[in-house]
Structure 1
């Protein structure tokens, strides 16, 4: 935006986009094993659906986000949640092959998938991107995500994100990708320290998102070509907010605003720890909360049951997106 220029974002024109996958869907595990080469490739924390988090996220969306126009669900073919009411006019299911090039499919790389979000047909110019483990615990307002002048709010942590000088070849693909993103931003805008971003929904503008993908075309192309997260990738969910900060199309939220909007809990196998985190979310009720799967290979049944009970207590009523003949398992 130019100096003094503002943009109007109408609440009635905001869609929500979810990405989702279920690794228990018939054939998925076999396809994954066919292409996987490292332990990172088969990490179940990113693909497990044992809590049916998408179902509860949609319930929370219906209760707490009144400004949503439509919902778009992006997943791999032929997956569709069995409980989802796909006939409802307010939801559209899209598969990767409808917006992604055939030569890069199948993909198991969330970075590659997210880089295509602005290519969804019929999605609103501004849309809220949610991973399926993100909930809305309190009433959300568009002003939680965007200022009156149209600049988006960026919610960051009080920790610097990795840079190449402090990474090692054996680091996780996530940390290496953050370092790659920071290197790309340094080349474009000059070196500076940048913060980790808080987990939570991202408000995205299609125009500026595609502008970012073109500006960092080499990095985005390498990311899209990777079936799994790789050492030469960049995470668009990190690169985009920092790109907006650099181009002055976004502002950094205060620590107090971040605490109010972006809650987080790590769902671990140690029940007292998970109980404590969920109880804290229950008490604070931030606008959003991410329940990050950290079960690894063997989820603790007692923890799974506890989280399920909490989700049902928070959101007992089915949303309009559910088939009534498919109650939670």
Structure 2
């Protein structure tokens, strides 16, 4: 369910394309620099090989600031209510000069405008310099300005959700008064001192650890950190296995059938469909604030993963298990019990399975409170209430074991499972759990395959333990869980791609019998390539030697 994309230089909506080519001839030195997209209204997009929400946010801020500075318009950036858009304040008295600057901008390329009521866009957008565009600049108290970007295939199209808002502040008794609420102040003195700060000071959606962010002019009240700002570093940990690797298969086969339950022995649990590649693309696109990524594996490394990027480290099981007799292990519960032993891992981190994906931009505060607490996303699914039985699935057996530990220590019987979304964790709490529940923790870490006696730590036990000890809080996240074995999977993937409205989703496969792997893999590959078309910096460049 991709938006349809026509290259202007190749045809499609010919009249509009011809007009665009005459209007912006400097943009047509190479084919497909501009495109007309149809689907949700016609719009002209800049086609770029690298498209990202952060990149567009920064480009739109640069565009507006440059226009205002060239026009001699005084301005200051403020902290708006969205981390994904910039916000610039100008005096109402400068409206005519802003209008002239935006009209001149129309000669440089396609820039769109729309009016805002509060934080919501109102009415259709218009090209700057058009009749409606000129009307919007004359009338709007808040004007959203920005470009539309698209990847070459037209599957990832980003627009004014990452624009730059221009607010017209009105004079009132020696002060400038904001036209809408923001996160800092509703008015400022005419002579409020201006200061220059990194853009990252004004938003939680910034690449703090990968680049120097742009400096921007603001006012002193906006230059200080706010109580809700998450200012500590956040890392990400993945666990990954390639079940198609013959060496890994031989190691696993040497230890028998692989577990007490058919689900834990199911080969579908270990199939690699290149999910990690696309989960990393999702991470880079939607969480550029992540400091470092660790991929935990068993003597494996994805062939496409570069070894030259400073922000990613492959960690072998032997580096986190202190008992060599525990290895090799094929038990995710055991591997997860050792994550806090990763050297260099930050206190606060997110744990992903490779079948977890970020579906849209997020900020650290979606997973952590600024005081260090972690957010817990409770699932509507329940841990079965009856006693443990031989027929329990591994996830249910571990949940019941968790419940017994928590009931004995805190007098509370857990019922709900935790969503299979990225898990927000603290290293120090995991260390405490290892000490507090030493015997159960040790048995789990030594269990080569999933056992009925396992506890599940980062996916369940941690969150309740942290909550009972005052270090976690129940929260919500827009989430989808999709099972590849279900007959409606293709329809649900299509809806997810069309809407792109979930902060996180999981595409899991625990029940397949292995006979439909080729079809499922092809279907999933088409979906992931369309959802995440832009390679991450963690992938090998073409021609890069391993």
Q: Taking structure 2 as the reference length, what is the TM-score of the superposition?
A: 0.54
**2:231·2:370 contact (CA, 8 Å) conserved in 1?**
no
Instruction: Report which stretch shifted further, 147-156 or 220-229.
Output: 147-156
1:92: which partner in 2? 313
When the two structures are aligned, how many residues end up with a matched partner? 311
**2:279·2:355 contact (CA, 8 Å) conserved in 1?**
yes
Instruction: Please provide the CA RMSD for this pair.
Output: 2.0
Residue 285 of structure 1: CA displacement? Answer: 2.1
Deviations 1:106-158 (A, max 9, x none): 10010110111111001111111111111111001111112244321111122
Helix, strand or coil at the partner of 1:129:
strand
Decide whether aligned partners of structure 1 residues 248 and 94 sit closer, same or farther in structure 2, where only a CA change above 3 A counts: same
Decide whether aligned partners of structure 1 residues 326 and 304 sit closer, same or farther in structure 2, where only a CA change above 3 A counts: farther
Decide whether aligned partners of structure 1 residues 316 and 159 sit closer, same or farther in structure 2, where only a CA change above 3 A counts: closer
Is 1:232 the counterpart of 2:453? The answer is yes
- Distance in structure 1 (CA, Å) of the matches to 2:372 and 2:234: 14
1:16: which partner in 2? 236
Deviations 1:173-215 (A, max 9, x none): 2211110010011011003243111111111111111111211
**2:331·2:447 contact (CA, 8 Å) conserved in 1?**
yes
Decide whether aligned partners of structure 1 residues 8 and 220 sit closer, same or farther in structure 2, where only a CA change above 3 A counts: farther
**2:404·2:413 contact (CA, 8 Å) conserved in 1?**
no
Q: Which has the higher contact order (CA 8 A, sep 6+)?
A: 1
Structure 1 portions without partners, runs of 5+: 1-5
Decide whether aligned partners of structure 1 residues 42 and 192 sit closer, same or farther in structure 2, where only a CA change above 3 A counts: closer
1:265: which partner in 2? 482
**2:228·2:369 contact (CA, 8 Å) conserved in 1?**
no
1:46: which partner in 2? 269
**1:174·1:229 contact (CA, 8 Å) conserved in 2?**
no
- Distance in structure 1 (CA, Å) of the matches to 2:239 and 2:419: 18
Deviations 1:209-256 (A, max 9, x none): 111121111111110110011011101121101111111211112xxx
Equivalent residues in 2 for 1:94-109, closer than 5 Å = 94-100=315-321, 101-109=323-331
2:341: which partner in 1? 119
**1:134·1:201 contact (CA, 8 Å) conserved in 2?**
yes
Q: Taking structure 1 as the reference length, what is the TM-score of the superposition?
A: 0.89
1:320: which partner in 2? 537
- Distance in structure 1 (CA, Å) of the matches to 2:463 and 2:239: 18
Q: Which of the numbers 409, 414, 437 marks the counterpart of 1:188?
A: 409
- Distance in structure 1 (CA, Å) of the matches to 2:356 and 2:302: 17
Higher strand content, 1 or 2: 2
Helix, strand or coil at the partner of 1:285:
coil
Is 1:25 the counterpart of 2:242? The answer is no
1:279: which partner in 2? 494
**1:146·1:152 contact (CA, 8 Å) conserved in 2?**
yes
1:293: which partner in 2? 509
Helix, strand or coil at the partner of 1:27:
helix
Instruction: Report which stretch shifted further, 301-310 or 51-60.
Output: 301-310
1:3: which partner in 2? none
Decide whether aligned partners of structure 1 residues 58 and 154 sit closer, same or farther in structure 2, where only a CA change above 3 A counts: same
Find runs of 4+ consecutive structure 1 residues off by over 6 angstroms.
Answer: none
- Distance in structure 1 (CA, Å) of the matches to 2:369 and 2:234: 15
Helix, strand or coil at the partner of 1:212:
helix
- Distance in structure 2 (CA, Å) of the matches to 1:213 and 1:298: 40
Decide whether aligned partners of structure 1 residues 250 and 307 sit closer, same or farther in structure 2, where only a CA change above 3 A counts: same
- Distance in structure 2 (CA, Å) of the matches to 1:304 and 1:238: 29
- Distance in structure 2 (CA, Å) of the matches to 1:7 and 1:232: 40
Decide whether aligned partners of structure 1 residues 280 and 247 sit closer, same or farther in structure 2, where only a CA change above 3 A counts: farther
Is 1:199 the counterpart of 2:420? The answer is yes
Deviations 1:70-119 (A, max 9, x none): 11111001x10011001211111110011112010010010110111111
